[in-house]
Structure formats: structure tokens, C-alpha cells
Amino acid sequence: MPNLAQYVLDRLVLRLRPPDATRQVAALPYTVIDGRVVFLLVTSRRSGRWIVPKGSLVPGETPRRSAEIEALEEAGVEGVADAEPIGSYRTIKKGGLTRRVVEVDLYPLRVTKQHDTWMEQDRRHRHWVLLREAKRLLSDAEVGEFATALSRREMARDQPMAQRIDA
């Protein structure tokens, strides 16, 4: 039962929007294969939950570039992140006995290159998934909703103009 109590407390803290929330950036790595959007997830270092590459702003870099760097370090992929985040979400960062609220700006990153080796490969697994599996696996439900929005955007972009007009 303590896990349920902690879950409820975490959800309450997230809704209160504390003013001292730490800001981070995340990448939502994706590509389109055979007309389908696929997403790259990684495991968290501590618990092994499925997440997207996320971290603090890199000093001297823009948030967009910081998200690209996180994707390279944590997932071993390169690409071009959108100029603006697709959205923001809150999560709880747990460290020992402490907990803090983190406000994360999420940048879609269309993958152009995947490396066989990368900086955090000994601490993380990576896994390409379709939208349905991404939504099932992701530990932050809001990220799954942003993945849905991104998938719709990419499908509309890839659809011929005549089909969009007829719809």
C-alpha cells in the first residue's frame, strides 16, 4: 500500500505546479518507415522504466540543441529537433529520499543516424516501437499523448494533398 500512497502524493504534487520546479529538455526521437511513425525509447538508468532521452539544459546551448545532445548521449541517435517543443509535461525526479518536480519541454527529433555504440549504452537499452506500444510502455502518459499528436502530424504531412482535401 505505501506504493499507492506515494503514487497519489506524487500526482497531487504534480498538479500543484510548484514554482520551484526544475526545467529540463527531452527529445522524442522518431522516424517514418513504410508510412508509419516509429519512436525510439530508452530505459531509465535507475529503474529501467521506458522513457525518452531527457536532461538538463547544456550550458551555452539552446534548449533545442540540448535535446539533440541528450538523444545522442542516451540513445545514440542524431537528428534534427523541431525549433519549438511539441509540449511540456511534469514528472517527479526521485533521488534517494528526495523528490523534486521537473518541468520538461519535449522536442520531436527526426532521426537521421543511429550509432552502433554510444555514450550510455552500458546503462540503457533502446527500443524502436510503433505508437500503440510506445503509449503502453512509456512511464509518463503525457509523453504518449505528445507521441500521438506527432504521429498525426507526420501522417498528415506524408499524405498526398488530394487525399487531405477529400477527407
pTM here is: 0.84
Q: Which residue has the cell 545514440?
A: 76
Report if residue 142 sits inside a domain: yes
Residue 134 lies in a domain: yes
Where is pLDDT greater, at 51 or 101? 51
Whether 167 is covered by a domain: the verdict is no
Q: Which domain holds residue 114?
A: 2-159
11 Cβ contact partners less than 8 Å away, ≥ 6 residues apart: none
pLDDT band of residue 91 (cuts 50, 70, 90) is confident
Q: Is the residue at 164 inside a domain?
A: no
CATH number of 11's domain: 3.90.79.10
Question: How far is residue 100's CA from residue 45's CA, in Å, rounded to a whole number?
Answer: 17
Q: Is residue 165 part of a domain?
A: no
- pLDDT tens for residues 93-132? 877 777 788 999 999 999 999 999 999 999 999 999 999 9
Residue 150 has a pLDDT of: 97
- Other CB atoms within a 10 A radius of the CB of residue 90 amount to 18
What's the structural domain count of the chain? 1
* Dist. CA 30–CA 97, nearest whole Å: 34
3-state DSSP assignment of residue 86: coil
Torsion 72-125-26-147 (CA) sign: positive
In a domain, 123, yes or no: yes
At 31-48, the pLDDT tens digits run: 999 989 999 999 998 889
Q: Is 104 helix (H, G, I), strand (E, B) or coil?
A: strand
